[in-house]
Homo-oligomer: A and B are copies of this chain.
Amino acid sequence: MNYNVKLKNIISKNKSNLVIGLDSDLMKLPDLFLKYKNPVAVFNKLIIDNTKDIAAGYKLNVAFYECLLEEGIIAIRHTLNFIPEEMITICDAKRGDIDNSAEMYARTFFDEYNFDSITVSPYMGEDSVAPFLGRKDKFVYILALTSNTGHSDFQKLKTGDRYLYEEVIQKSLEWNKHNNAGFVFGANHTAEIIKFTDKNPGISLLIPGIGAQSNDLKNLMNSLRLCESYVINSGRSIIYSAKKDCSEKEFIDSVRMSTIKLNDEINNLKNACR
């Protein structure tokens, strides 16, 4: 199924634009998981089981899995198996390499694991992004303006009349033959989100930076009022909401309550902006 359609459907069904970031750091899991052979897989499963009706999907930053080597591969595989087919899965890999190397990355994440979408870094230009965009059945979120402090080092450099991130957007839209390109905008960049969505309301956005990164949800939702398709990612403030020595029930309650609360806040503000 076309990603845009799948995304629209699940947002509507679960009444949620929220994607939960499963950046599951073995060192930060509550103690109760450590008795398992693959603590991350169990941790993720419990989160998914208790949020799959109130989220649009899940985003895995593969850095957290790569450092677990073989156990990381197992954790990704199991995690994706736990996620209902109708929900979207985002591979936060931020890959960027040329032709054959990019083909390999596409093969890994789209074929071996079967993620629906991936984040890519545009620095190397078209032939580094094309192998991902060429997969019509998949979706590619290209880094535009990221939430971290270092975003201003290069992304906000002026290249003539525009900023670098705007050049990235313009070129990416030229490459967007299969209508499967979207962008990553940090939640702190509300002015730029308004500017982008005003011109490109139909292009899907991935918005990280809500929760642990403390960006203002009200301003964000206002900036997204014209955007027809977006997901907002929240990770640490949901998955690490319970105490380290919590029981399983306390963990489930904490994760579910955090998700409901954030989802409700998003939906209330969404309705207020219309």
Of B96, B159, B171, the contact of A158 (CB 8 Å cutoff): B159
Q: A63-B102, A112-B69 are in contact. Are A149 and B164 (CB under 8 A)?
A: no
Please name the residue on chain B nearest to A174 by beta carbon. B153
Of B23, B66, B122, B148, the contact of A154 (CB 8 Å cutoff): B122
Contact assessment for A101 and B69 in the assembled complex, using a CB-CB cutoff below 8 Å: no
Q: Indicate whether A191 reaches chain B with its CB closer than 8 angstroms.
A: no
Q: Indicate whether A81 reaches chain B with its CB closer than 8 angstroms.
A: no
**Chain B residues closer than 8 Å to A23, beta-carbon distance:** 100-101
Please name the residue on chain B nearest to A165 by beta carbon. B123
**Chain B residues closer than 8 Å to A146, beta-carbon distance:** 98, 124
Contact assessment for A155 and B102 in the assembled complex, using a CB-CB cutoff below 8 Å: no
Contact assessment for A149 and B125 in the assembled complex, using a CB-CB cutoff below 8 Å: yes
Q: A63-B97, A94-B97 are in contact. Are A154 and B127 (CB under 8 A)?
A: no
Q: Indicate whether A67 reaches chain B with its CB closer than 8 angstroms.
A: yes
Interface band, chain A:
35 or more
Contact assessment for B107 and A67 in the assembled complex, using a CB-CB cutoff below 8 Å: yes
Distance of A159 Cα from B99 Cα, bound (Å): 27
In A101-159, the 8 Å CB interface with B consists of 101-102, 104-105, 107-108, 112, 121-129, 143, 146, 148-155, 157-159
**Chain B residues closer than 8 Å to A150, beta-carbon distance:** 98, 124-129
CB distance from A65 to the nearest CB of B (A): 9
Of B66, B125, B151, B168, the contact of A151 (CB 8 Å cutoff): B125
In A69-89, the 8 Å CB interface with B consists of 69-70, 73
Q: A23-B101, A125-B152, A148-B124 are in contact. Are A164 and B171 (CB under 8 A)?
A: no
Q: List 29 A-B contacts (CB under 8 A).
A: A23-B100, A63-B102, A63-B104, A64-B101, A66-B104, A67-B104, A69-B73, A69-B108, A73-B73, A92-B101, A98-B146, A98-B148, A98-B150, A99-B148, A121-B123, A122-B123, A123-B123, A123-B143, A124-B143, A124-B146, A125-B150, A125-B152, A125-B154, A127-B150, A128-B148, A154-B164, A154-B167, A159-B164, A164-B164
Q: Which residues on A are within 8 Å of B, measured CB to CB?
A: 23, 25, 61, 63-64, 66-67, 69-70, 73, 92, 94-102, 104-105, 107-108, 112, 121-129, 143, 146, 148-155, 157-160, 164, 167-168, 171
